[in-house]
Chains A and B, each alone.
Chain A
């Protein structure tokens, strides 16, 4: 029986196999599906066909895959791969940190001699073929003894011979085929989950297997009661049933008894109280009947009850653990490595966060997480501490203020002196709180539980009343009827109605690459009337490329580019990244007093002179410089994004960028509009770029040149007019807007910050998921309603019938189990 249960879970995803093979369009990159730039002519020979590549990164990745003999990957994958990462040099340097023994001790196990074992978190997995590729490729590396990737958690367990290969080499090899792997420390909670899971499976197996045997003997007993049976055989079968039911009751059913006892001690009436009462009474009376040789036995009811209830509980906790694992992935955001500034000279140095000592100075860039508790010594910035205190608005901090490890730097780079490390940090305390919170239930489920608690109190009263009534009316039937009422009225289905539906949905969404951080978001999604999109990285690919440099005659193009890249070196903004990748080498020497204005630009002093870079408004408001009219004319009709580089009084250069609109953006907007939602576009970019994107995607209402504050105000204005707003965004600038919307979704490779403030994170980097989320939320709500109605109908219908003596205890057990099972199965429909 246990096997059949697990099979049904298996088949949930097996339809993926039949899905169409992924073949990108002809003129797009064979590896990642992005359009191939016209001037670029890159190709890789895959399956004897020259396939186009969009960039050197993808080319290198595809070549590595082909060279290692894993071309089959391209044949079986069902999704395009992520675009190759362009951070190779930085990653090479960082990954070597993981070879340092002190750091390895955090996450490594040494099973035997030179063998090392570590769990790796894989990023960039889009479909089953990716996992296959990783497994085959890592297993093929010399020195790797064993590798196993878990499909559900996307984590790899790798065992290698430390004398033949180093961990950093394994990480770099994974990087070579286009994925990112980081070691992580499987914490106690996960170990606890694993143990809990295997215990539940064992209990279920015992209940199922012994139950089958008991049912077999019970059928003989029923048949015997019908057609006559020798007393000897009847007694033998009853004794056997007693023996076979005992392990089910005393092993499989212990969680129910324990939880009922806990409830009683806390003076609460939980669902397990009537369950335990029914089980205990039914078993005890059956045992007495068996020993004394006369009376009814209910062993079949007991085993069936235990098995079906354990099965529904098992499914519920499996779904919950799956969600906990995804949430935990976000919680594990404390950085493993950090940038320490040496005491003399202040040179930057990458060190493991765990080796930080009190008094160390560290550099924290925008978008980075604070590695320990400390105090600001240089720089101003805002910090998002929502992970620590739930406060969603970033707090402004200045030198002397206290920083909490785990909070995220929002605006400017700054230096911090470490004050507390390890278990003394606030984060360590919070971590313990989060572990408790993960056991938390969504509000609707809590309501159902509260209703169930009253319900149970009433049920127990009814049972007593029914028993007293029948005791006086028909002395012989009172026990049987009271037992039937007790079994039939257990509000299990009611308590399972909401949590199973939400768990099933969360599990389904996880397999689709959507992480839901608050179950409440699913409920709120159904009321959404307005959908607000951000532009950069949401409707567009979010990877602008430098198109043109307009330079003042006085300055050289290369010089301007260098200055711009140095100014932007600490910024996580997409334009900054584009500038950095356009300039070949960027030195950090001589840059100081860096400050940034969100939605504006950056200001810093380089080699003693102050430079600014940002949008036109920022430059004109901050400097006396004037932007040449000819430049503005040149871009006026164009739909490019631009930034301007200026010194204190002269405009030096203007950089223009292009950013492609996502292929599925138009379709998503259309779908949403068909659903009756008002779709808006709000962006910090200038109106020409916004207009172009709005026209391409069919959005009528677009607002350009908005600062994060203005976006937030606009969202609040909509809310004041009774609108319920969904914000879809990406990037650092969106954080306040995301948190002020009713529901927020972060798309794709969202920065660490957006990940922590959005309700839902789309990992698949496909915009079409936004429309899908709505459909899923609607289905979920429908299933919850169906479940609730069914559970209430069942309970209110069955109790009077049982009280009138129309339902035998064994029938009641079947009815009760089936009603719970129907609720669970109905919820499981959501996983298809």
Chain B
């Protein structure tokens, strides 16, 4: 059962990583517009628009 002394720290490190990723996503504004991406992905089929310049950061409004 000594393995538990390794497994638990590993799981806690993992937890820390997940929390950090989530907090980054919140700060990045990814939860500001939850409806948009669902529609956007369906409509962007044949138009070539410079997505790079559009994909940075969502609107603050």
User: Which A residues have a C-beta under 8 Å from some C-beta of B?
Assistant: 2-3, 6, 9-10, 13-14, 16-17, 69-70, 72, 76, 119, 128-129, 131-132, 135-136, 139-140, 145-153, 155-157, 186, 190, 194, 197-198, 201-202, 205-206, 209-210, 213, 216, 230, 233, 236, 240, 244
Interface residues on chain B, size class: 35 or more
Beyond A119-B61, A240-B12, list 7 extra A-B contacts (CB 8 Å): A6-B31, A16-B39, A76-B42, A145-B53, A150-B36, A155-B59, A201-B31
Residues in chain B near residue A3, CB distance under 8 A: 22
* Contact of B60 (CB < 8 Å), options: A72, A135, A194: A194
User: Which residues of chain B (12-55) have a CB below 8 Å from chain A?
Assistant: 12, 15, 18-19, 22-23, 26-27, 29, 31-36, 38-40, 42-47, 49-50, 53-54
Q: How far is the CB of B11 from chain A (nearest CB, A)?
A: 7
Q: Is the CB of A198 within 8 A of B27?
A: yes
Q: How far is the CA of A69 from the CA of B18 in the complex (A)?
A: 42
A150-B32, A233-B1 known; A213-B11 Cβ under 8 A? yes
Contact of B26 with A198 in the complex, beta carbons under 8 Å: yes
Q: Enumerate chain B residues within 8 angstroms of A128, measured Cβ to Cβ.
A: 35, 39, 43
User: For the complex, what is the distance from the CA of A132 to the CA of B39, rounded to whole Å?
Assistant: 8
A-B contact pairs, 13 of them (CB 8 A): A6-B31, A10-B35, A139-B53, A149-B59, A152-B33, A152-B34, A155-B59, A190-B61, A194-B60, A201-B26, A213-B11, A233-B1, A244-B12
Say which residue of A70, A150, A233 sits within 8 Å of B61 (CB atoms): A150
Check if A13 sits within 8 Å of B46, measured CB to CB: no
Pair A132/B31 contact, Cβ less than 8 Å: no
- Interchain nearest-CB distance for A190 vs B (Å): 7
> In the assembled complex, which residues on chain A have CB atoms less than 8 Å from the CB atom of B47?
69-70, 72, 136
CA distance A16 to B36 in the complex (A): 12
> Quick check: B61 and A146 within 8 Å, CB to CB?
no
Q: Identify the interface centre among A146, A153, A186: most chain B CB within 10 Å of its CB.
A: A146
Are B19 and A205 touching (Cβ within 8 A)? yes
Number of A-B contacts (CB under 8 A): 117
- Chain B residues in 8 Å Cβ range of A139: 49-50, 53-54
Q: How far is the CA of A448 from the CA of B11 in the complex (A)?
A: 44
B54 proximity list for chain A (CB < 8 A): 135, 139, 146-148
Q: What are the residues of chain B within 8 A of A153 when measuring CB–CB?
A: 61
Residues of A within 8 A of B39 (CB): 16-17, 128, 131-132, 151
Measured between beta carbons, the chain B residues less than 8 angstroms from A147 are 54
What residues of chain B lie closer than 8 Å to A156, measured between beta carbons? 59, 61
Partner of B40, one of A69, A132, A152, A155: A132
Q: Which residue of B lies closest to A243 (CB)?
A: B12
- Return the contact of A13 from the options B11, B38, B57 (Cβ within 8 A): B38
Q: Given the known inter-chain contacts A150-B33, A151-B35, A206-B19, please indicate yes or no for A186 contacting B60, CB distance below 8 A.
A: yes
With contact pairs A198-B27, A205-B23, A213-B15 given, residues A151 and B33 touching in the complex (Cβ less than 8 Å): yes
Question: Which A-chain residue is minimally distant from B37 (CB atoms)?
Answer: A10
With A205-B23, A213-B11 known as contacts, the answer to whether A157 contacts B61 (CB < 8 A) is: yes
Partner of A72, one of B36, B45, B58: B45
A residues in contact with B43, CB < 8 Å? 72, 76, 128-129, 132
Task: Give chain A's interface secondary structure class.
Answer: helix
Residues of A within 8 A of B44 (CB): 132
Complex interface: chain A residues within 8 A of B35 (CB): 10, 13, 128, 151-152
Query: Considering the chains assembled together, what is the distance between the CA atoms of A151 and B59 in angstroms?
Result: 10
Given contacts A6-B34, A150-B32, A157-B61, contact A209 B45 (CB under 8 A): no
Cα–Cα distance between A157 and B33 once the two chains are bound (Å) = 13
User: Nearest Cβ distance between residue B47 and chain A, in whole angstroms?
Assistant: 6
Contacts of B40 in A (CB 8 A): 132, 135
Q: Given the complex of chains A and B, what is the CA–CA distance between A148 and B58 in angstroms?
A: 6
Given contacts A2-B22, A17-B38, A131-B39, contact A148 B59 (CB under 8 A): yes
* Residues of chain B within 8 A of A148, CB atoms compared: 54, 57-59
Could you say which residues of chain B place their CB within 8 Å of the CB of A157?
A: 59-61
Complexed CA–CA distance, A129 and B40 (Å): 9
B3 within 8 A of A: no
B53 to chain A, nearest CB (A): 6
Our pick among B19, B31, B42, B53 for the contact of A209 (Cβ within 8 Å) is: B19
Q: Which residues of B contact A152 (CB under 8 A)?
A: 33-36
Shortest A154–chain B CB gap in Å is 9
Q: How far is the CB of A130 from chain B (nearest CB, A)?
A: 11
B36 touches A149 (CB 8 A): yes
Q: Give Cα distance in the complex from A518 to B7, angstroms.
A: 55
Nearest-Cβ distance from residue B36 to partner chain A, whole angstroms: 4
A151–B54 Cα gap in the complex (Å)?
15
How far is A70 from B48 in the complex, measured between Cα atoms in Å? 11
Contacts A14-B38, A151-B33, A205-B23; A240 near B58 (Cβ below 8 A): no
Q: Beyond A119-B61, A209-B22, A213-B12, is A146–B34 a contact (Cβ under 8 Å)?
A: no
- Tell me the minimal C-beta distance from B8 to chain A in angstroms: 7
Q: Are A209 and B15 neighbours in the complex by a CB distance under 8 Å?
A: yes
- In the bound complex, how far is the Cα of B18 from the Cα of A13, in angstroms? 28
B4 at interface, CB cutoff 8 A: yes
Q: Which residue of the partner chain A has the closest CB to B53? A: A146
Chain B residue nearest to A133 (CB atoms) is: B43
Residues of A within 8 A of B58 (CB): 148, 150
Query: Once the chains are docked, how many angstroms separate the CA of A136 from the CA of B31?
Result: 22
Q: In the assembled complex, how far is the CB of residue A365 from the closest CB belonging to chain B, in whole angstroms?
A: 30
Cross-chain contact A17 with B46 (CB below 8 angstroms): no
Cα–Cα, bound, A28→B26 (Å): 46
Q: Give the chain B neighbours of A6 by CB distance below 8 A.
A: 31, 34
What residues of chain A lie closer than 8 Å to B29, measured between beta carbons? 198
Give bound CA distance, A574 to B31, whole Å: 43
Residues of chain A within 8 A (CB-CB) of B61 are 119, 150, 153, 155-157, 186, 190
Cβ-defined partner of A233 (8 Å) among B4, B34, B45, B46 = B4
- Taking the nearest CB of chain A, how far is it from the CB of B48, in angstroms? 10
